[in-house]
Each structure stands twice: as C-alpha cells, then as structure tokens.
C-alpha cells in the first residue's frame, strides 16, 4: 500500500494529529473490536529492559484481549542485542504467517528496530504484515547509554555523575545487559536505521515521537543528564525527539509523554487508551 502524505493540514494542525486526537477523544476507552474471522494478530514488541519491568504492556494487552483481538508479546529478551532479538522475532513471525495470521506490530523503542530488522530479512514477512506502529523508535543513539559505555559525553560528567555512571555501567554489565546497551550508540543506530528507512515497505508505518518535561522514573535515562548533554533539545528521557523522526513514514509527534509511559503508564497516563487510539489511526485512518 502506498503511504499517504502526512503533511496535509486541516486548519492549523496536521491531519494525522487530528486523526489521533479524534480517536483518543472518541470514547473514554477507544474500542476497536476485532470482527469474527479476523486473521490479524497484534504483536506487541518491548524495548530494552522491557521483560524486566513489572506490568510492562499489561493494560494494553488486557484491553486488546477484551476487545476480541488475537494479541501476543514479541519474543525478545531484555539483555539481548538487536540481531539476536530480530532472529527470535523472525521465527515468531514465520510461525504466525504459517498459521494464516497477518501480524500488526505495535512496537516500543529498540523493539521497533528489531521488528523492522526481522521484517527486512525475508520478503514474505513484510508481504504478510498488516501494519506497523513504532513508538519512540530511535534513529540515533541513547545519549546516557553512550556516556556509560563509551567515552562519548564522559568529559561532561559533573559531581556525583563521575562515580555514579561507572557504577551503573558495572551493574548493567553484571546483569548481562552491556552488549544490548552499548549497541545503542549513535553511529550504529544511525547505520541500522538508514538501512531500514531505505526499504520499500508494503504496509503502512505509523511512527510516534514524543517529548516530556516530567519523568515517571519507571524507565528514564536521566532527564537532567540529557539536558546537560544536549541543552535545549526536546527529549523523552532516553532519546532526543529529533532522533525519533522517520522520513517517509506517517509521523506523529506528541508532547508530555516520557519514555516509560507507553509501556507502563504513570503520572495518570492511560497507556492502554494510547495504544488503542494509535491502532485505530493505523487501521482506520491510514487504510
């Protein structure tokens, strides 16, 4: 399907933002029910550390199941690299397709890169895909992780950060997460995202960038440190907002959503409603 131009405007607001606002406001809990015989399966793919975080995606999964959807969690592991998780996702995709299912991917952060890598590996996977949502999927590195696992930004450490960052790096290494964290550096992520963005995808991609002034503290990589590294730059607590923009995709940018809220909520954010509204935009407005 040819992707539409996201830049058309209605009044002062981009058309895509109006679609999202309408889907969010249409009901207290937007319901997009699966019809009997619907062969689409929603695959929710976690980001870095997702499988280690309590209640990760719990409310969105429950919401979609209540509304009759076939919904599963992507087969990724928190401490594994993009390449390893892409292999796992690929096997899961192949099994779904062999069973006659058409996957719709709802992905968060690093999980979006891993999903696209798996789709790019075999043409039949992309051909069977019914849609893709990527929330806070990076096209460049995570500045705080770069500071932990490379010399980038290390010179700007001040005060307690001089001992806290090496300690956090050591703890993540002990947890087995060093490889997954260290690969989220700008040069590698830019190389990966450029290859993925050059693909011709046969399905609609809805990419969502966010920024926030407040942090839920559930999963944020030092808001204050990011502001020190990139003064004045919008960010979600993990990635700069500008690094979440994907040319050629349907692009939505939303304020007041930090990196944790799409996966675990917090600060009153209804993340089940958020994912349901995005799914409605993808399947109804971008179809």
Question: With bands split at pLDDT 50, 70 and 90, how would you rate the model's confidence at 29?
Answer: low
Q: Identify which of 4, 11, 48 has the alpha carbon closest to the alpha carbon of residue 251.
A: 4
Q: Report the percent of the chain where pLDDT is more than 90.
A: 62
Dump pLDDT digits (tens) for 190-216.
999 999 999 999 999 999 999 988 777
Alpha-carbon distances, residue 71 vs 28, 41, 110, 286 (angstroms): 22, 6, 20, 21
What pTM was computed for the model? 0.91
pLDDT tens track for 54-86: 899 999 999 999 999 999 999 999 989 999 999
Measured between alpha carbons, how far is 257 from 215 in angstroms, rounded to an integer? 9
pLDDT at 5: 34
Q: What is the pLDDT of residues 150-163, one digit of tens each?
A: 877 777 777 777 77
Fold of domain 14-26+38-139+202-285: Rossmann fold (3.40.50)
- pLDDT (0 to 100) of residue 8: 37
Phi, psi for 117 (deg, rounded to 5): -60, -45
């Amino acid at each position: 399907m040819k992707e539409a131009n996201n830049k058309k405007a209605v009044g002062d607001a981009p058309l895509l933002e109006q679609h999202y606002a309408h889907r969010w406001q249409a009901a207290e809990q937007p319901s997009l029910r699966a019809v009997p015989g619907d062969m689409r399966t929603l695959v929710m793919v976690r980001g870095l550390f997702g499988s280690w975080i309590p209640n990760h995606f719990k409310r969105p999964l429950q919401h979609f199941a209540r509304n009759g959807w076939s919904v599963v969690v992507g087969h990724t592991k928190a401490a594994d690299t993009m390449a390893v998780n892409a292999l796992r996702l690929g096997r899961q995709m192949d099994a779904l397709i062999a069973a006659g299912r058409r996957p719709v991917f709802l992905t968060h952060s690093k999980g979006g890169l891993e999903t696209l890598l798996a789709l790019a590996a075999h043409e039949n996977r992309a051909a069977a895909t019914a849609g893709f949502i990527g929330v806070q999927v990076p096209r460049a590195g995570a500045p705080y992780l770069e500071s932990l696992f490379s010399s980038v930004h290390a010179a700007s450490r001040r005060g307690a950060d001089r001992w806290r960052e090496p300690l956090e790096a050591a703890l993540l290494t002990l947890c087995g997460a060093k490889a997954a964290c260290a690969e989220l550096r700008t040069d590698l992520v830019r190389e990966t995202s450029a290859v993925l963005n050059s693909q011709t995808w046969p399905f609609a991609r809805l990419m969502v960038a966010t920024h926030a002034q407040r942090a839920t503290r559930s999963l944020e990589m030092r808001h204050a440190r990011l502001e020190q590294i990139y003064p004045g730059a919008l960010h979600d607590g993990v990635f700069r907002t500008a690094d979440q923009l994907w040319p050629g995709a349907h692009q939505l940018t939303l304020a007041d959503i930090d990196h944790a809220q799409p996966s675990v909520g917090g600060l009153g954010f209804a993340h089940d409603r958020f994912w349901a509204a995005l799914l409605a935009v993808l399947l109804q407005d971008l179809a």
